[in-house]
Structure 1
Amino acid sequence: MSAQIAPGGVHPAVLLLELGHRARQAKSVAELEFMLVNDTRLLLPYRQAVWWNQQQGVAALSGVMQPDRNAPYAQWVAQVCAHLAQAEAAEVRAVGPADLPPALAAQWAQWLPAAAVWVPLSAIPSGSEAASAGATGRAGLLLAGAESPERWTFLKEWGGVWTHAWQALQRRRGWTPLQWWRGLRQRQAQQVWWRKPAAWAVAGVLVLAAWPVRLSVLAPGELVASQPAVLRSPLDGVVEQVHVQPNQMVKKGELLFSLDEAQIASRLEVSQQALQTAEAEYRQFAQLALGDARSKSQLAAQAGRIGERRAEQAFQSEQRQRAQVVAPQDGMVLFDAPSEWIGKPVQTGERVMRIAQPDAVEIEAWLPIGDAIPLAPGAPVQLYLAADPLASIEARIRYVAYDAVARPDGSYAYRVRAEVTQAGKARIGLKGTAKLQGERVSLAYWVLRKPWASVRQWVAL
């Protein structure tokens, strides 16, 4: 079919080339859409043009810079275009009220002239990159008041050229989260729900979030002696000599250390002299009492003074014995270097050393206040020593202190004691990190517990 020459004497093919040149020179999608609804009249005269796509609805109207999608006309024509786009035919065709449902056809005369042409535009070819860029699945151009079927071949070609330019501008926009979401929804809409990767991903995330795990915290810990015998200074004085070495095995009753006895010996000697003086005075008064009634009455007071001196002497003798500290039980002696203690003044009750069984050890951990999770007696504990980080020492919680105490670094923590169930090569004094395990909770709670606790300190919900 030969095409008629335009009124100006220009062949439609030349006009098609001009429109294609303009489309290639367009700098934005908005400029290209404006060209579609306004410059297409070079090929085919019409009264009004509507550019519609499945994602945006009415995207452009001829003679209007920005269409109002909430206007009654825009809403009605959007429904018309959506109905026309459902047809499988990809050819340019004439449309009218007869092609619409009765509810839409009843308003045709109110908004549009009797004749119209529908130009389907393949906005997304199958498997194209435009799908990932957020392009629509179905689209078309409605030309109201257009006729001239002999121009439809050029109109179809112009639709293909314009679609190619439109897809090129869509790719030029680059990737955005909105475009990715639109492309994902487009692909998901073509699949049943159990075949959608997104559905399986959401289900997997939900199952993983609800997966039960043990609530656990980390705390500094060390190996300490279980129920050691603590040896403290029995009186105020100065350590004169230490008779054992650190980590030495001792027997019960063996001499450990002794305090300086110079002051005690001096006091003991004074008490002995006072006792002898009191006894001599008593004998003197006893002899005088035979003939002097007054001296006889003072014998009771002298006897009481002798008792005081004897008690004082006994106390000083006991103090001298207590200055020699012996082992109360068998075990290993735990203390610092002897040279650090010799000549050091100590007070009554000050700890000097401990005696413990080498194989009787337990874990002592310091639980920070911010990590004070519920820990029941018997809960599992693993201690990872700094000297052997690849192996752990298994234990069970014996008790958790109710009161937090100050630590050397200025923080407060709860003391935790755990009985070792698998000591291995554990040695008293080794330090590391203890992992304390509480009750089972969901993985989501385990992950969000500390961030949520930090937020709650600043936000009241």
Structure 2
Amino acid sequence: MEDTQQGGPDPLATLLDMAHRARHVGARVELDFLAVNGSHALAPYRQAALWFEDRKVCALSGVVQIEANAPYVQWLERLCKAAPAGALTAADFDGDVAAQWTEWLPAYALWLPLPATDGLLQAPRGGLLLARDTPWQAHDIALLTEWCDVLRHAYAAVTKPAPWSPFALKSRWRQRMAQEQSAALPWWRRRKVQIALGVAAVLCLPVRLTILAPGELVPANPAAIRSPLEGVIERFHVKPNQLVKQGQPLLDFDQAQLESRYQVASQALATAEAEYRQSLQQALTDNRSKALLSSLQGKIEERRAESEFLHGQAERARIVAPRDGIALFDDPSEWVGRPVMTGERIMRIATPGDVEVEAWLGVGDAIPLEEGADTSLYLGASPLQPVTARVRYVSYEAQPRPDGSYAYRVRATLDGATTHRVGLKGTVKLTGRWVPAAYWIMRRPLAAMRQVAGL
């Protein structure tokens, strides 16, 4: 038996000294150390562990640093969660807690709970576990119970109040439920029913269905400058974002090949005309030459058409601005010397101020949008000043995007003039119809469930 020996220190005096030390600790970690190591002065034991619902196993006797993933600590977690107050043995548990008892603890243990008080709802549930090889006596249990009551108040003093912590809210909820059960309130006054009705009312509130999509400012009615021929760009006469006038030269194609082909065609035309004149002179005396006149005349027309076509191509090799505006294109060095195909877009001429919002609505976010629906563009360069617009149209079919996804093109007309330049990107908020809040929350999860399970 490990009882206090005759003539030893007075247990009450020891308890008073321990209470004095507990009231004057500076931090919670000091109180943890005092609980698992200092309690030995009140009653001898071999092992001690301190556990709280929020901090788990936070202190062990004779251990400075706790390894949370250690098997011993994990086993203590399961024991402390299920331990009833008072003296314990392996027979009080079942499962792996009872099976591994002899591996981790002596035969006899004592669980001293540290519950939260009514005035300190922020304190989580916890307790002090003491274990030794001899049974616990009644006077030891009474002395240690009083010591745990001192610890409870000490922990409340060193712990900063957290009235809105999860444990405080959970404690208030349990207290409220206990009061309702003891008072036998009508069903409409029970907190669970009131909360359920409140949540149902919130879920039924109408909200606007909104979707976010990437977007940018684009020209509303630009004039596209496309390649009139197949060739190589030689030089640009304008710079990106430069103001141009109608008829101003924009760029030139390399005309060396066109000039060479035009000279060859012109020479072939002259040769055909010479052959025709020669046959015309011989036709006066030679009927055979007279029969060749019609074919030579067709050959002349063919050569003339080819020559005129090449001459027109040479004239089209210099592209001019079809109207006043801003030249929108990439870096000229990326175009010079690059072969282009007939019809390939090189640049756009946009009228200043004639801009609108373009957004790409993902297939999964395609909500019904009516013409004139509210639209707001939050530019990355100016997030605090949204550009407001009205939906003009939504494309009928989804189009492939550079990232491999498909999206619907949305165009929206600005509500007023803007000082932001074309090409600025941001996030577009598209506003749809009014829907219940429950539909707004569950729309995407329900769509995913339909796609996966077909429900």
TM range (shorter): 0.5 to 0.7
- 2:177–2:191 Cα contact (<8 Å) kept: no
Cα distance in 2 for partners of 1:455, 1:370 equals 13
Say which SS state the counterpart of residue 364 (structure 1) adopts: strand
Residues 251, 327 of structure 1: 8 Å contact kept: yes
- Residues 301 and 213 of structure 1: CA distance in aligned 2, closer, same or farther (over 3 Å): same
After superposition, the CA RMSD in angstroms is 2.8
Once the 2 structures are TM-superposed, how far is the Cα of residue 276 of structure 1 from its aligned partner? 1.0
Aligned to 1:104: none
Residue 360 and residue 293 in structure 1: after superposition, are their counterparts in 2 closer, same or farther (change >3 A)?
A: same
- For 1:322, give the aligned amino acid: R
Distance 2:287 2:391 in 1: 77
Aligned partner of residue 360 in structure 2, secondary structure: strand
> For residue 397 of structure 1, what is the aligned residue in structure 2?
391
1:21-170 aligned at under 5 Å gives the runs none
Matched with 1:370 is 364
Q: What residue is the counterpart of 2:251 in the other structure? A: 257
Work out the CA distance in 1 between the residues paired with 2:177 and 2:277. 120
What SS does structure 2 have at the residue aligned with 1:349? Answer: coil
Q: 1:347 to 1:180 in 2, by over 3 A?
A: same
Answering whether residue 322 of structure 2 is matched by residue 328 of structure 1, we say: yes
Match of 1:273 in 2: 267
The answer as to 2:327 corresponding to 1:346 is: no
* Contact 1:393 1:423 (8 Å CA) reproduced: no
In 1, the alpha carbon distance for the partners of 2:404 and 2:174 equals 53
SS in 1 for 2:178: helix
Using the TM superposition, give the Cα deviation of residue 415 of structure 1 relative to its aligned residue in structure 2, in angstroms.
1.2
Distance 1:270 1:129, change over 3 A: closer
Q: Confirm or deny that 1:241 pairs with 2:239.
A: no
Residue 415 of structure 2, aligned match among 417, 421, 431: 421
Cα distance in structure 2, aligned partners of 1:456 and 1:192: 37
Answering whether residue 221 of structure 2 is matched by residue 227 of structure 1, we say yes
Q: Answer yes or no: is the 8 Å Cα contact 2:210–2:431 preserved in 1.
A: yes
Q: CA deviation at 1:457?
A: 3.4
Q: Distance in 2 between matches of 1:375 and 1:239?
A: 43
Select 1:183's aligned residue among 178, 183, 186.
Answer: 178
Aligned mates of 2:182, 2:211 — CA distance in 1:
44
Query: Number of paired residues?
Result: 293
Secondary structure of 1:391's aligned partner? coil
Secondary structure at the aligned position of 1:266 is classed as: helix
Do 2:187 and 2:193's aligned partners in 1 also have CA atoms closer than 8 Å?
no
Partner letter of residue 373 of structure 1? I
Residue 364 of structure 1: how far off its partner (Å)? 1.1
Counterpart AA for 1:186? Q
Q: Which residue of 2 aligns with 1:88?
A: none
Deviation at 1:454, TM superposition (A): 2.9
TM-score (norm 2): 0.59
- Return the letter of the residue paired with 1:444: A
Give 1 or 2 for the bigger CA radius of gyration: 1
Shift of 1:451: 2.6
For each residue in 1:338-369, what CA deviation from the matched residue of structure 2 results, as whole angstroms up to 9, or x when unmatched? 22221111111211111011211111111111
Aligned letter for 1:418? Answer: A
Q: 1:398 aligns to what SS in structure 2?
A: strand
Identity of aligned residues (%): 53
- 1:385 and 1:432 in contact (8 A); partners too: yes
Q: Which residue of 2 aligns with 1:440?
A: 434
Distance in 2 (alpha carbons) for counterparts of 1:457 and 1:297:
78
Structure 2 gaps, min length 5: 1-116, 122-148, 150-167
